[in-house]
Each structure stands twice: as structure tokens, then as C-alpha cells.
Amino acid sequence: MAVAEQVSSKKNYLTALKEAVFEEMQRNPDMVCIGEDIGFLGGAFGVTEGLKAMYGPERVIDAPISEAAIVGVACGMCLNGKTTLVEMQFIDFISCGFDQIVNMTATYHYRTAGEVNMPMVIRGPAGGYGGGALYHSQMNEAWFANSPGLKIVCPSTPRDAKGLLKSALRDPNPVMVYEMKELYRQNKIAEEVPEGDAALVPIGQASIRREGDDVTLVTYGNNVYHCLAAADNLAEEGFSAEVLDIRTLVPLDEATIIESLKKTNRLVVVNEAPRTCGFAGEVLARMSEEAFEYLDAPPARVTRLDTPVPWVKPLELYVLPSVEKITDAALRVCKF
């Protein structure tokens, strides 16, 4: 079958991730998966359902509840020639494996003067909007963006979920994949997803989700859909918004953002991590350094408040970015 014809029926975000895992396990006999309940249960959300039955307990490893042990074992397997896919049952608990990630996994290539690779992917469900409260709603990607040696991706569509995960599993060094659990089973965003190598999405390349002329909305993950809805609101006010999904945080595709700003001259960055030291601030800082000459108004950011995510729905929505908050911020920038 020609590459152009390798398109399956529409898939949701969860099914696309599952396809990526199964395809890469089949392609690479040296790939192993490790995590809590990924074999027996198929993962908390079903991404690895059926994987153990197909590939056995030596390649699909149910680990104890110790993220430090999971990442440490995965690091050792990588050093012995394996490509290792690590699942965090919830990305919130990645802090328990923090030392193994930032001090061991991220630094290994550097510490060996480039002689040793660390082909590890750490993936897991992240983000709020689902009533998960403070222990199941975090976006802690900025912790790891501050750790040289790690790549970080955050797909917003089924096609990108599959394509970026496949690309991550072919990268010779560690990649972290933040999966939006609120998007897992949203069939309204289901789309046709290519099979095999045709599905690959390059790491480090942003995507323009909507073209516009008056303001650039830079975002990723679940907030892409909030920005698209805000763009509809802005159109009713007579403003044309460009929605740019960065997809990869590290390395950041600065060139695509700058090209957009050359056209719109206004910038709003949106993410659901806390405001202080969040990745939205990093994007604003870089554009202030690299694209100041193109800005006709002070850039703005819309983020989570500097508070844990509440469980009660009205309070959760109060602290997280919303369509209304994005619309208001963009209008202020456009009317400056």
C-alpha cells in the first residue's frame, strides 16, 4: 500500500496512542514497556491493554508502586541496549522519580561525552479540567524543561499523539510525552490517523491550527481547543487570531512563532501550568528577546493561577485557563 493510502478510520486520542505503542513494539524487538499495572490492567486508561498478552511479561513489565525504581530500572535496561517506554500512571507522581530522571537519565549522554545514548520515553496522563483535584491535575512540564538532556512533547490531536510518540520511541535519547487525559476519549476530535511510518510527526516542529492576521495565540495540549474557541469569539469582535500549537516544548520551534509574529505583531501565550516559572513565561521571554521588533503591544499570558487545582468544578474552572480568559486577554492586546 502506498504511503498516501496508509490511512485508517477515525481514531480518538487514546486509540492513536495505543496504536503507536503496538506498532513500535512490533517494529523494534528490543523495545520494552514498564509501569504500574500496564500489563495485568492494561494501564489506568487502557493505553497498553492487550500488550502483555501479545508480547509477554519480559517485554511488558508490571512494576511495583515506585516511580524511582521504575525509572531506575528503565535506565539500566537502556544501558543494556533496550528502548524503554515508561508509563507514569498519573504524571503528578513523576516527582517520586524526579532524581532518576533529571540526574541520571537526562545527563547520561553528556556524562559519557556522547558515547552512550539513553533511548527512553516517559509518558503519562496529565492536565486538569476533569475534576481530578490537586493530585491528578498537574502540568509540571516546566520542571523538566529546566533539565538539559530531555526533550518534551505535548500532543493535542490523535494524529500528533500517535506521530509524536512514535518519533519519541525512535529518538536515541530521553523524551517525555505529556498526554492530555481529558482528550483521551473525546470522539469529537477523532480524526484519520496514518499507519506505520506515515504516522511519524517530527519532534521540534510547531503546527498552525488556524491562520490569522491580528494576534498569535501560542499554546499546546488541551488549551489548543480553548484557543480555537476564543478565536471564534475574536472573529465576532472583528479580530483575526492565529492559533499556533507548539506541540514540542523542548526543543521549541521559535522560528514558526517568530514568522507568525511578523504577520500579527501581537502575542498571547496560553498554558494550564501555574503562572510563576511556567513555560508560558519562557515563550514570552524568548519572543521578547528574539522578536521584540515585531511586537506592537505588550505580550500577554493566560495560565493557571498559582494554586493547586481544586476538586469542586466551579473552583477548578476558576483557576484554569478558559475560553473567556483567553478572549479577554487577546482583546486587550489587540486594542492596545
Q: Kindly list the catalytic residues.
A: 136
Burial level of 5, CB count in 10 A (0-12/13-18/19+)? exposed
| 7 torsion bin: left (phi>0), alpha (psi -120 to 50), beta (else) | beta
Query: How many CB atoms within 10 Å of residue 148?
Result: 10
Residue whose C-alpha cell is 492536565: 127
What are the φ and ψ backbone dihedral angles of 90, each rounded to 5 degrees? -140, 140
Residue whose C-alpha cell is 517485554: 59
CA 51: distance to chain centroid? Answer: 23
Q: Omega of the bond prior to 251 within 30 degrees of 0, cis? A: yes
- Beta 241-245 vs 207-210: how paired, if at all? antiparallel
Question: Is the distance from CB of 102 to CB of 142 less than 8 angstroms?
Answer: no
CA 224 to CA 237: how far, in whole Å?
20
CA 239: distance to chain centroid? Answer: 29
Indicate the length of the chain as a whole number: 336
